[in-house]
Chains A and B, each alone.
Chain A
Amino acid sequence: MNCQDHLYRGLDGKTISRRWFLQQCGVGLGSIALNALLQRDAHASQNPNNPLSPKNPPLKARAKNVIFLFMAGAPSQLELFDNKPQLAKFDGQLPPAELIKGYRAAFINPNSKLLGPKFKFSRYGQSGAELSELLPRLAEVSDDIAIVRSVVTDAFNHAPGQILMSTGSQQFGRPSMGAWVCYGLGSESQDLPGYVVFSTGAKGPSGGNSNWGSGFLPTLYQGVQFRTSGEPVLYLSNPAGVDSGVQQDSLQAINSLNRMRLDAVGDPEISTRINSFEMAMRMQMSAPDLMDLSKEPKHILEMYGAEPGKPSFANTVLLTRRMVERGVRFVQIFHEAWDQHGNLVADLKKNCQATDRACAALIKDLKQRGMLDDTLVIWGGEFGRTPMVQGGNDGLDHHPSAFSMWMAGGGVRPGITYGETDDLGFNAVKDKVHVHDLHATMLHLLGFEHTKFTYRFAGRDFRLTDVFGRVVPELLA
């Protein structure tokens, strides 16, 4: 939580007077001219009148946009990315005592039997990436992605784990990575929010709204939830009886009265309000078009497995591409479906059927449009799952010590598999990548030195990576 002090901080009187002058010339049309002019100003990269206007990062950026496919609930790395023949061999046996010494589990007694993988793995592409039979489509783009098998986290309960992945801290109150990125880079879009969030799973994410909150950053950086059915954004549609004519009349009157007030009292905040109403109107006009997937060619719909009018993960991923095309900086899709304490085999099949095709299509589609170069795609959950069984022989518990994620585009080295776990997939043993390291690497790709990308709050310079994190050079192209 903070005020908007930063809007005017560090500006000299001249800039303000100039802005003033421009505003006095008439907001509305004028405000567009104003923004254009201010962008050419010495302070161009920090147009103070619109904290969301695009900014250049301090360092050379590889990625401009981020799409985070958050597989909430924690998918089993052992069934998808991290093939462990030894685990198959020891299926039904107890884990070595020294391995589970001091280990805390959420539901199971750590001294539970090991569960061998239920699905077959094969190698794909030139890179020879090893993937489960559950991911045939991803296999087709295996040379475009970097698989990380050695991700570790600190939390083994869902809400804290998700909050840590989203904000870099298990404690609530920190800005989400999307908020950080919008704070650092602003938004390219003039009629859409800079940070958009979807929820497509069976449930919402465990961490709730705090996953896309702004923490102590100004609230305008928080994620805006979109839906794929009904009103895409809350309160976007006009109320009953208000057609476009009424709406035009109303907004004209509101803006002209606001302009009169600006003349009378001189508070520049009024011009920001006028801009807000104008952007709201632009959103009203552009969002329905954006959300209308029926305009996508058939082969694209097919590639994603999207069906216009039928809400699905696939539709959402396609929408995400359309948003990034329109300048949305950060899109996060929460697909909360992966908490397989039981029913592991059937649910994994179902989830992969629902997501595999669209995820792979996103990579292909971005690539064919030349967008993959500067769009970073990240796939993963908040933690992994135990090699030990929960219940009979069809479930796995939460596990923070090793799990897999993949990344693509935006300067990520394609076609690699990074990091290793032990024979049972219990601990990451080589090239560990902590969640903080993932964040540091993401920021690096976006043109930020993660230790220097800070925000002063409560007497301290805060970072997405807190006091941790290292860029993983091996993941960079």
Chain B
Amino acid sequence: MPVKTSLIVARISHILPIACLVLLPTLGLGLAAGMRPDQSKSPPIDFNRDIRPILSENCFKCHGPDPGNRQGNLRLDRKEDAFAKRTAGAPVVPVSLAASRIWIRINDANPALRMPPPNSGKTLTARQKDVIRTWILQGAKWSVHWAFIAPQRPKVPTIDDGRWTKGAGHRTSSIVNRRTNTGNWCRNPIDAFILARLLQKGLTPSPEADKITLLRRLSLDLIGLPPTPQEVDAFLADRRPDSYERQVDRLLASPHYGERWGRHWLDAARYADSDGFEKDKPRPVWFYRDWVIDALNRDLPYDRFVIDQIAGDLLPNATQEQIVATGFLRNSMLNEEGGVDPEQFRMEAMFDRMDAIGKSVLGLTIQCAQCHSHKYDPLTQEEYYRIFAFLNNSYEANVAVYTPADQMKRAEIFRRIHEIEATLQHEHPDWQQRMAAWEREVSKDQAEWRVIHADGDISSGQRLEQLADGSILAQSYAPTKHTGVFTARLDSKPVTAVRLELLNDPNLPRGGPGRSIYGLCALTEFKVEAAPADHPDATQSVKVASATADVNPPEKELEPIFDDRSKKRRVTGPIEYAIDGKDETAWGLDAGPGRNNVPRKAVFVLEKPVSFPQGTILTIRLVQNHGGWNSDDNQNNNLGRFRLSVTSAQKIAADPLPAQARGALAIPADRRTPAHTSALFDYWRTTVPDWKDANAEIERLWREHPEPATQFVLSEREMPRTTSVLQRGDFLKPVKAVEPGVPAFLHPLPANAARNRLSFARWLVDPRSPTTARSIVNRIWQTYFGKGIVRTSEDLGTQSEAPSHRELLDWLAMELMKPAMDDGRSTIASKDTVTRRREDAANEHDRRVSASPRLRATNASSIVHRPSSKPTPWSLKHIHRLVVTSATYRQSSKVTPEQYAADPDNRLLARGPRFRVEGEVVRDIALAASGLLNPKVGGPSVYPPAPDFLFQPPASYGPKIWKTSTGPDRYRRGLYAFRYRSVPYPVLQNFDAPNGDFSCVRRGRSNTPLQALTTLNEPTFVECAQALALKTVREGGQTDVDRLTFAVRRCLARKPSAKESGVLLDVLDKNTKRFKVASANPWAIAAPDPKSRPELPPGITPAQLAGWTVVARVLLNLDETITKE
């Protein structure tokens, strides 16, 4: 095990002689306007740093990539155009100001001709002109925007006598500069990059923060929770040289790491628990949230992390987890208010997906190109739609998913069923002949059905899509109660019966066939009317004599979700319930979990055949009154996809064979797959009287099948959609069809790659992708230091703000993709080759038992000891470890007025980061300090206390479910709070948490009175103050001073100063006295429920507890408590 962790790049003093810094070369924009130094001696102009931003800001809008807006047919964003000869001369002629047209035009004496033109609202400053002048005179070196060139490992700067030079690569750069009289500040190459910049600017780093501050910072950063006093004590007592690195390892291995960093990804993934828009219905998608947490905890390599989310479903033998990961793209909002066109909002969701990929993976703003070619980056509108085309072929699928425990249970059930069936077959070797005989018997027993193409009435607000097979897909708004009216014009053939088929569709919950949250539906009544085609008004109702169906469940009361507040007993049951004329009874489909979401059919025989000489107008009424009361919740029980047919045959009944078996039967025996045979056998065995016991045993096993959860995922269509360029992004105005493809300014797709979503996902994480790795390391940096190396972390493109440390960004990107650094003394492999091999084996296993679900239990932290500490490619934990073990990160955040004035934004990092933590962490800190925190990881979202009125009209559009958690779920971490997009949980909203409407890779950080009111008065914070007070009097020691120290340490990790203690003890005394008077009720403040009073330790009075509650509330409201120092 290697012991030494850090690579010592240089040793320099914290107090460098300022004199030597004066001699540092002034770089770039150091030139003051009006200076006219000899150009050859001027510091070199860097095109990307100094020139491109000027051109981009002032010129590209009219002379850039967008042809629609281009003026004078001039482009200045490409070298070939900027240097090309034109009638008046070339825009740029190296070394010649007199010949360079841009120089002439920006200095034109005539304001009307001067560029940029007056109506653009832009002007060039004297300083900007000077930079352009110097650049031309220096030879006008041009380069592509830095972020569009794949990163190369830069040389790590070495420090030489206070100056910095570009040294060799980091492996040989561990030069200890013995000439400077120094300590060893640099701990790894990050520090060399930072220090070089600091020295250049005449700044010096700050000393290291004290151990307590450091541990609190580290803990808040890595797991989003403050350290406990015990953890602080252990760290203080640990005198080993690598005690800090051990803390890093401990925290990186914590399951809370995935929660903390997962939340940031969830912002980018615009995760929320509801649909958004008007209905804003709850949507069960927490499996995706947990997938993110788990993937980070096991340090799933970032390339695979991205591939799984963009195209996990297309991976060979995709596991449940890989499919769940595609929930990423499905986190888009969904509009199902009455009357919307589903295609319009599918397209809105597509635009949102493009935006999310742009921001979260590419770090580029591609959404501009939705309406027109990008004005700044070289992305054309057509290229935008070519990327779009990769994503445009998916169903909006919603599938059943199972927890690892339930996956195991399912596998066991399937194993035992398979065993019983195998035994039957083994014990009856003639089964194949017997089944074949049965097949012959039933293969010809079906009547001829004619599918009718009926027009549906859409006044209920539900939209009906006519599919090619004559079926109808109900979409968009789902009324809780309605009657679907379908009218078809038929010929004169007599109609003896009507068949209703209920079909699966990937767009329906759990694949349908219904639209309820279970993918089921209930048919209250089936009614038929007929009119002669030549007398459409002479409609008469037609009596249904009898009905049969292939599923006839026993009578069952409706589930609570369908409560319609009528207080009537409403039931589902066999098919007769659909023709009994009663509004309380309906045909239901429930065959128990595991077998529910399959096609069903019912046949309704008419009392008398219907026929008119001129043809028949047949009207079918599908009464669906078994939904609940609230259409702003998921309370519909409607048909999803269905098809109507008629027949003229006599003596008709519903085919008892399941659709799957009937389908298999249609395939010639010699072409059937084992799955086909199995489908036939599954049904046929139930018809064999002798096998009653075995069949009953299998039925019993099915009843043990667990109820699934659901998850929005992607599922690829077999028939691709046509993708077109849309005029101004209007889905009704397709201009030109396009094929999937990638933009020309980025790396190409491999020539032989299939043009599908999986290839696109792989392309995104190709090491040649210039922005993918940079984008994620930049955001990691942003989280630690408050700002990214590129501050505009959503946009690394032409209009991005120049990076503060471009080479460091590249170095980190390279370390992510191709790590060269030893990552220290770690013994914890997040995802090493061993684990990978294990997963590959699991994949192999899955391939063999494709019917059974993936069984790999996801272990939050797969800890393995490994001999080598070589990090694997794309390991995010590696980057975290590098950052937090750097000297840069470990600096004190204290700041003097001079330091502050020199760098108010702390862009150069001459001090450590200090800023208020994110909203979730603000709350988590209070919960942790008070001891109330429930550290459970994962599971359905919870409902912490929130005012009821928020979830009721008129605060909310519709009445929303908010069942305030009373048990341990009340004190779960902030990231588990249920997220309604239209009514965000106010505690988090007040602290700048995004609501998931769109991808957010950079949160705001405001400081407002509403935040003060929240931490002072919000019920959870009040309960935390009460709990902290109680804990303090119970566990804090025997004296008030001890107790105060106890309470302060739980909030701040450190002990209070004498002065601070003075203030706090005063508050304690004053308020203890206040609550001691007879008229006061100390329990009112000290207990959540003044009637249920907690037991107090001997010698502690309720007034004292009340005093401590005041103190605890003060502590939880301190700036320092909610700040990472």
Residue pair B1012, A280 in contact (C-beta under 8 Å)? yes
CB-contact partner of A1 in B984, B994, B1014, under 8 A: B994
Cα separation A9 to B339 with both chains bound (whole Å): 47
A298 close to chain B: CB less than 8 A = no
Known: A107-B459, A235-B1018, A277-B1012. A459 touches B333 (CB 8 A): no
A350 close to chain B: CB less than 8 A = no
Pick from B43-51, B824-832, B1082-1090 the stretch touching chain A.
B1082-1090
Residue pair A250, B1067 in contact (C-beta under 8 Å)? yes
Contacts of A284 in B (CB 8 A): 1013
B341 close to chain A: CB less than 8 A = yes
Contacts of A458 in B (CB 8 A): 359, 365, 792, 794-795
Residue pair B1067, A173 in contact (C-beta under 8 Å)? no
B798 close to chain A: CB less than 8 A = yes
Contacts of A276 in B (CB 8 A): 1007-1009, 1011-1012
* Whole-angstrom distance between the Cβ of A171 and the nearest chain B Cβ: 7
Residue pair A106, B1018 in contact (C-beta under 8 Å)? no
In B956-1009, which residues have CB < 8 Å from any A CB? 956-958, 981-984, 986, 989, 992, 994-995, 997-998, 1000, 1002-1009
Cα separation A455 to B905 with both chains bound (whole Å): 19
B1057 close to chain A: CB less than 8 A = yes
A283 close to chain B: CB less than 8 A = yes
A56 close to chain B: CB less than 8 A = no
Cα separation A242 to B983 with both chains bound (whole Å): 29
Residue pair B949, A266 in contact (C-beta under 8 Å)? no
Residue pair B949, A230 in contact (C-beta under 8 Å)? yes
B1010-1029 vs A, Cβ < 8 Å mask (1 yes, 0 no): 11111011110010000000
Residue pair A234, B982 in contact (C-beta under 8 Å)? no
Contacts of A246 in B (CB 8 A): 1071, 1074, 1085, 1110
Residue pair A227, B983 in contact (C-beta under 8 Å)? no
Pick from B596-604, B697-705, B1111-1119 the stretch touching chain A.
B1111-1119
Cα separation A200 to B954 with both chains bound (whole Å): 6
Residue pair B348, A171 in contact (C-beta under 8 Å)? yes
Known: A157-B337, A257-B1063, A459-B798. A108 touches B276 (CB 8 A): no
Residue pair B914, A239 in contact (C-beta under 8 Å)? no
Contacts of B377 in A (CB 8 A): 459
Residue pair A104, B341 in contact (C-beta under 8 Å)? yes
A199 close to chain B: CB less than 8 A = yes
A316-349 vs B, Cβ < 8 Å mask (1 yes, 0 no): 0000000000000000001010000000000000
With CB as the reference atom, state the residue of chain B lying closest to A258. Answer: B1119
B1098 close to chain A: CB less than 8 A = no
A254 close to chain B: CB less than 8 A = yes
With CB as the reference atom, state the residue of chain A lying closest to B1007. Answer: A272
B1073-1106 vs A, Cβ < 8 Å mask (1 yes, 0 no): 0100000011111100010000000000000001
CB-contact partner of A239 in B995, B1002, B1085, under 8 A: B1085
Residue pair B1086, A459 in contact (C-beta under 8 Å)? no
Cα separation A356 to B1119 with both chains bound (whole Å): 48
Residue pair B956, A235 in contact (C-beta under 8 Å)? no
Residue pair A8, B905 in contact (C-beta under 8 Å)? yes
Cα separation A265 to B894 with both chains bound (whole Å): 4
Residue pair B339, A157 in contact (C-beta under 8 Å)? yes
Residue pair A266, B459 in contact (C-beta under 8 Å)? no
B896 close to chain A: CB less than 8 A = yes
Residue pair B1004, A3 in contact (C-beta under 8 Å)? yes
Residue pair B1014, A398 in contact (C-beta under 8 Å)? no
* Whole-angstrom distance between the Cβ of A415 and the nearest chain B Cβ: 33
Interface centre among B982, B984, B986, B1012 (most CB of A within 10 A): B1012
B1125 close to chain A: CB less than 8 A = yes
B338 close to chain A: CB less than 8 A = yes
Residue pair A17, B1007 in contact (C-beta under 8 Å)? no
CB-contact partner of B278 in A1, A207, A258, under 8 A: A207
A391 close to chain B: CB less than 8 A = yes
CB-contact partner of B957 in A105, A206, A258, A283, under 8 A: A206
Residue pair B1064, A157 in contact (C-beta under 8 Å)? no
Residue pair A220, B1008 in contact (C-beta under 8 Å)? yes
B799 close to chain A: CB less than 8 A = yes
Residue pair B1005, A21 in contact (C-beta under 8 Å)? no
Cα separation A258 to B798 with both chains bound (whole Å): 42
Cα separation A16 to B895 with both chains bound (whole Å): 13
Residue pair A236, B1017 in contact (C-beta under 8 Å)? yes
Residue pair A460, B799 in contact (C-beta under 8 Å)? yes
Cα separation A170 to B797 with both chains bound (whole Å): 25
With CB as the reference atom, state the residue of chain A lying closest to B376. Answer: A459
B280 close to chain A: CB less than 8 A = yes
Contacts of B745 in A (CB 8 A): none
With CB as the reference atom, state the residue of chain B lying closest to A224. Answer: B1010
With CB as the reference atom, state the residue of chain A lying closest to B953. Answer: A203
Known: A160-B335, A257-B1060. A208 touches B901 (CB 8 A): no
With CB as the reference atom, state the residue of chain B lying closest to A221. Answer: B1006
CB-contact partner of A202 in B333, B953, B1000, B1019, under 8 A: B953
With CB as the reference atom, state the residue of chain A lying closest to B986. Answer: A234
Contacts of A94 in B (CB 8 A): none
CB-contact partner of A17 in B901, B947, B1067, under 8 A: B901
* Whole-angstrom distance between the Cβ of B665 and the nearest chain A Cβ: 42
Contacts of A334 in B (CB 8 A): 954
A249 close to chain B: CB less than 8 A = yes
B779-818 vs A, Cβ < 8 Å mask (1 yes, 0 no): 0000000110001101101111000000000000000000
B309 close to chain A: CB less than 8 A = no
Residue pair B1012, A172 in contact (C-beta under 8 Å)? no
Known: A253-B1067, A254-B1114. A159 touches B947 (CB 8 A): no
B902 close to chain A: CB less than 8 A = yes
CB-contact partner of B997 in A14, A172, A233, A270, under 8 A: A172
Contacts of B916 in A (CB 8 A): 269
A139-183 vs B, Cβ < 8 Å mask (1 yes, 0 no): 000000000000000001111100000000011110000000000
Contacts of A397 in B (CB 8 A): 339
Contacts of A267 in B (CB 8 A): 893, 895, 914
In B814-856, which residues have CB < 8 Å from any A CB? none
B349-382 vs A, Cβ < 8 Å mask (1 yes, 0 no): 0011000000100000100100000011100000
* Whole-angstrom distance between the Cβ of B781 and the nearest chain A Cβ: 13
With CB as the reference atom, state the residue of chain A lying closest to B340. Answer: A157
Residue pair A20, B897 in contact (C-beta under 8 Å)? yes
A96 close to chain B: CB less than 8 A = no
CB-contact partner of B1085 in A158, A240, A460, under 8 A: A240
Residue pair A254, B1005 in contact (C-beta under 8 Å)? no
Cα separation A391 to B460 with both chains bound (whole Å): 11
Residue pair A260, B1057 in contact (C-beta under 8 Å)? yes
Residue pair A13, B956 in contact (C-beta under 8 Å)? no
B1120 close to chain A: CB less than 8 A = yes
Residue pair A237, B1017 in contact (C-beta under 8 Å)? yes
A261 close to chain B: CB less than 8 A = yes
With CB as the reference atom, state the residue of chain A lying closest to B1019. Answer: A239
| Across the A-B interface, the 10 shortest Cβ-Cβ residue pairs | A208-B982, A241-B1085, A106-B339, A459-B799, A241-B1084, A13-B901, A206-B278, A280-B1012, A172-B997, A173-B998
18 more A-B residue pairs beyond the given contacts A204-B983, A234-B947, A265-B894, with a C-beta to C-beta distance below 8 A = A13-B901, A199-B955, A203-B956, A207-B982, A209-B983, A225-B955, A233-B1013, A241-B1082, A241-B1106, A257-B1064, A257-B1114, A269-B914, A269-B916, A269-B1007, A280-B1016, A284-B1013, A334-B954, A391-B459
Cβ contacts A to B, 29 pairs, < 8 Å: A3-B1002, A4-B1004, A5-B791, A13-B902, A106-B338, A106-B461, A107-B339, A157-B340, A173-B997, A193-B1010, A202-B953, A207-B277, A209-B981, A209-B983, A209-B989, A233-B1013, A234-B1018, A235-B986, A241-B1082, A241-B1084, A241-B1085, A253-B1066, A260-B1060, A272-B1007, A276-B1012, A336-B957, A457-B794, A459-B797, A460-B365
Q: Which residue numbers of A lie inside 8 Å of B, CB to CB?
A: 1-5, 8-9, 11, 13-14, 16-17, 20-21, 24, 104-108, 156-160, 170-173, 193, 199-210, 213-214, 218-220, 224-225, 227, 230-231, 233-242, 245-246, 249-250, 253-254, 256-258, 260-261, 264-270, 272-274, 276-277, 279-280, 283-284, 334, 336, 390-391, 397-398, 451-452, 457-460
